[in-house]
A and B are shown apart, each in its own frame.
Chain A
Amino acid sequence: MFTSLQLHLAKVFLKIFLRDRQSIVFTLLFPLIFTGVFLFSSGEPDPIKLGLINQSQSTIAADFSDLVIDEPLFEITQGDLQSLRQELINGDQTALILIPTNFKQEEDSTQITLLLDASQVRQAGAIEETLNRSLISIEREIRGIEPMFNLEVEDVQARPQRYIDFLLPGILAYMLMNLCIAGSGFNVVEYRRRGILKRLFVTPIQAKDFIVAIIISRMVIILTQISVILGLALTLLDIRIAGSLASLYGMVIIGTFIFLCIGFFLGSLAKTQEAIRPIVALTTFPQLILSGVFFPISALHELLQPIAHALPLSVIVSGLRGISNDGASLLSFNLTTIGILIWMAISFFIATKYFVWKEVAN
């Protein structure tokens, strides 16, 4: 399958990597930090910080504010309007609830004012909704009314799924892309700048030997990293993977192949060490947004969706998600499979065809 040159060269690249203590430390540190971030952010959401100003003397207002204080979703500070308003402007409070002086009638509905800082307006929707829901249940308690119905969300596929289960395959794919492009693109530009590639090219080596060798060596490194992340995710974050681990690894290997090849192409496109960074950023950032890493592609504008679906990161994300969330097999044939095969062919073609050995004069 591989020539002895390709294997020897792969061994050389692995040796170079393993002898670089600093990069090993960071390589192992990265999955740990990654898991750590999730470990601390995926628990209970932080309570919303609210300031409560009760201007009413009525008992009902006192009852109401007691219930608001007891609400676990809120962290309440009581005080007067002036000092709390300052705290809101300083960003110490997310919003203020103002109970007006006329808050006493039980029949008429009373206006409770929510004061917000415009700079935090993005959160406003979420707070308003949570607040409204809490206020309704508080009202029910005060009035002693039983709720008429309860909304229970049930997954038709009967798999409990949290956001993190959705997120992990996306993050995994995005990480894969970054690791790969750093491993091929940046390396190639550096080797070319120093004339190492040129020296290799005056021997009978071919671009595909060089590319295959880097792919093999990077594959070993990346699979190790991914194994650490997966191991931690499965044990510490209690991630459930519906499909088989073999399929998941298969998809990771395919993704590594595609992204390394894209990295080689970008490395050949970039003439200098300075140019490679913006070129890589320009290819990876839009994909982070468009490829359904954080939210499904269906949430994008309709015109963008077909483009988004065709991106290399999208096909890997949806492949990984299919295996991880829906229990698909690597061998099950669908639209994603076609996308993957097409990207494998395109990426290997552009990587070998446009490979530049020599420093190109500007």
Chain B
Amino acid sequence: MLGPNGAGKTSTLEMLEGLNDIDGGVASIDGLDVSKDTHQVKKIIGVQLQANEYFDRMSLSELLLLFGKLYAQDSNPLELLTRVNLEDKASAKPAALSGGQKQRFSIACALVNNPKVLFLDEPTTGLDPQAKRNLWQLVKDLNSSGMTIVLTTHNMEEAEYLCDRIAIMDQGKIIAENTPQNLILEHAAEPPKAKLHGNIEDVFLALTGHALRD
């Protein structure tokens, strides 16, 4: 999901995650109505929020054990940490992690219940290029293992690189939704003869305009 600040990306995610009430329309995940079967939905989704703070004075593996318990499971912290390349940080506290490590740990927490759908809210915001690439690889790997991933981002390159389908949101509405290629064909400026001339940023600006958002 792409969109300028305040477009409603996070609100949309939070509605799907059962955090926000849905005041109109229907949302369903894997055949479950989100507003009716919220509890069931929570069992099959994994969530990484924009703010990822955890209890103080608990190590990463203790926190992963706790998250497992929240799904009534005995999780294997070391295995989860290995999946996100944090196996050597098992006894570290979240406060001691770098930005990229924190994001990866958040994803490890979101994976404890082996979710069908993983929600990532701006997972690479504030990361350095190395950490960003590293996280992209992780997302790609998870996706190729069969997990559906819904993510929001401001980063066009990220959307283009990671996503099979992109929805562009503005002022609470999805104004375009398609594969990256089709979006470029339909919306990028100056109709070209060549198949792919622009990029998703051209599409984004053509759709949402150049005015500055807060």
Contact = CB atoms under 8 A, between A and B. Distances in A.
A164 to B, nearest CB: 39
Contacts of B19: 198, 201-202, 357-358
Contacts of B52: 195, 199
B58 A196 contact: no
B69 A204 contact: no
Contact of A204 (B49, B65, B66, B70): B70
A4 B19 CA distance: 25
Contacts of B55: 12, 16, 191, 196
B43 A202 contact: no
Interface string B44-70: 010101011111111000100111011
A199 B53 contact: yes
B71 A16 contact: no
Interface in A161-220: 191, 194-196, 198-205
Contacts of B113: 203
- Most central of B47, B49, B69 by chain A CB within 10 Å: B69
A348 to B, nearest CB: 21
Contacts of A357: 19
Count class of interface residues, chain B? 20 to 34
B42 interface: yes
B15 to A, nearest CB: 12
Interface string B3-43: 00000000000000111000000000000000000010011
B96 interface: no
Nearest to B93: A19
Contact of B45 (A200, A201, A202): A202
Contacts of B109: 199
A9 interface: yes
B70 A203 contact: yes
Contacts of A202: 17-19, 42, 45, 47, 49
Contacts of B65: 8
Contacts, number: 67
Nearest to A7: B69
B51 to A, nearest CB: 4
Main secondary structure, interface of B, reads loop
B66 A199 contact: no
B56 A203 contact: no
A15 interface: yes
A199 B54 CA distance: 8
B66 A194 contact: no
A15 B67 CA distance: 16
A15 B57 contact: yes
A46 interface: no
B147 to A, nearest CB: 16
B198 to A, nearest CB: 36
Interface in A3-29: 4-5, 8-9, 12, 15-16, 19-20
A19 B57 contact: yes
Interface in A303-362: 357-358
A205 B51 CA distance: 19
A196 B18 CA distance: 16
Interface string B71-92: 1100000000000000000000
Contact of B66 (A9, A198, A358): A9
Given A194-B53, A195-B49, A358-B19, A200 B70 contact: yes
A191 B72 CA distance: 22
Contact of A16 (B43, B53, B56, B72): B56
B57 A5 contact: no
A5 B66 CA distance: 8
Contacts of B43: 204
A139 B39 CA distance: 85
A199 B58 CA distance: 15
A357 B42 CA distance: 15
B88 to A, nearest CB: 22
A203 B62 CA distance: 17
A109 to B, nearest CB: 74
A156 B52 CA distance: 64
Given A5-B72, A202-B45, A204-B43, A196 B54 contact: yes
28 contacts: A5-B69, A5-B70, A8-B66, A9-B66, A9-B69, A12-B62, A12-B66, A15-B57, A16-B55, A16-B56, A16-B57, A20-B56, A191-B55, A194-B53, A195-B52, A195-B53, A199-B52, A199-B54, A199-B109, A201-B18, A201-B19, A202-B42, A202-B45, A202-B49, A203-B42, A204-B42, A204-B71, A204-B72
Interface of B: 17-19, 39, 42-43, 45, 47, 49, 51-58, 62, 65-67, 69-72, 109, 113
Nearest 9 CB-CB pairs, A to B?
A: A195-B51, A203-B70, A19-B57, A202-B47, A194-B53, A8-B69, A204-B42, A202-B17, A5-B69
Given A15-B57, A204-B43, 12 more contacts: A4-B69, A5-B72, A8-B65, A8-B69, A16-B57, A19-B57, A194-B53, A195-B53, A199-B109, A201-B19, A202-B47, A204-B72
